[in-house]
Amino acid sequence: MFRLAPSSDISERDLVERCLSATDQAIQRQAQRQLYERYKRAMFSTAYRITNDYDNANDALQDAFVAVFRSLNLFTFQSTLGAWIKTIVVRNAIRKQQLESRFVGIDEVTHDQPIPLPDGLTGAELDTAIRTLPDGARTIFLLAEVEGYAHKEIADMLNISEGTSKSQLNYARRLLRQRLHNDYQ
């Protein structure tokens, strides 16, 4: 049986082409498996941060990769494959959360203020504090601060206004400041 080279040795373009054009179904499945193995950890991490739930993150990841393989022929290499997959994962994770009804109403929009981190704060403690945020605010915080999406991109993904995205980010920052200040004085 013909075996593909290890996933790390195959370029994104070659891997996509093998997933799409392999005439032997076993080779095509092996290429799909390599694509999944290459991206599953990073994409699960993204889904988990958004859903804050292990099972929902796994569901979002599974649904996302089904969508990836169904629409892989539409991928045009205008971005990296990872960025394209991440967009699909983010949308699936958001769908799992049903965010439309979970945004907290904030009338004021404040200027971006960095969150002062207490001395000795670990990454795990910061992650725990982020997970305590309300779903909508947490999702926008993660999309903006961790994933690097712009407010317009977030607004388009979530079908909300840019103002809502900005206010939710500021709300999340304010809550984190309070929680970090109270918990780590």
Domain span holding position 165: 102-183
**Cβ partners under 8 Å of residue 103, min gap 6:** 136, 137, 160, 164, 168
One digit per residue, the tens of pLDDT, for the chain of length 185 reads: 444 445 557 888 988 988 887 677 888 888 899 999 999 999 999 999 888 888 888 988 999 999 999 999 899 999 899 989 998 998 888 877 754 334 444 444 444 555 555 556 677 777 888 888 888 888 899 888 888 889 998 888 888 888 888 888 999 988 888 888 776 55
Considering the domain architecture, whether residues 76 and 126 belong to the same structural domain is answered as no
Q: Are residues 71 and 15 in the same domain?
A: yes
Structure confidence at residue 185 (pLDDT): 54
| Closest residue by Cα to residue 117 from 52, 49, 173 | 173
Domain end (from 74, 97, 120):
97
Same domain, 122 and 179: yes
Q: Are residues 106 and 93 part of one domain?
A: no
- pTM comes to 0.62
CATH of the domain at 78: 1.10.1740.10
Domain finish residue from 79, 97, 115: 97
- At residue 37, the pLDDT reads 95
Number of structural domains (the chain) is 2
Does 85 lie in the same domain as 16?
yes
Q: Does 92 lie in the same domain as 11?
A: yes
Is 125 found in the same domain as 66?
A: no
11 and 87 part of one domain: yes
Q: What is the CATH number of the domain that holds 137?
A: 1.10.10.10
Domain final position from 40, 64, 97: 97
**Residue from 176, 171, 168, 169 nearest 115 by CA:** 176
Residues 47 and 118 in one domain: no
Largest CA-CA distance found in the chain, in angstroms, rounded:
63
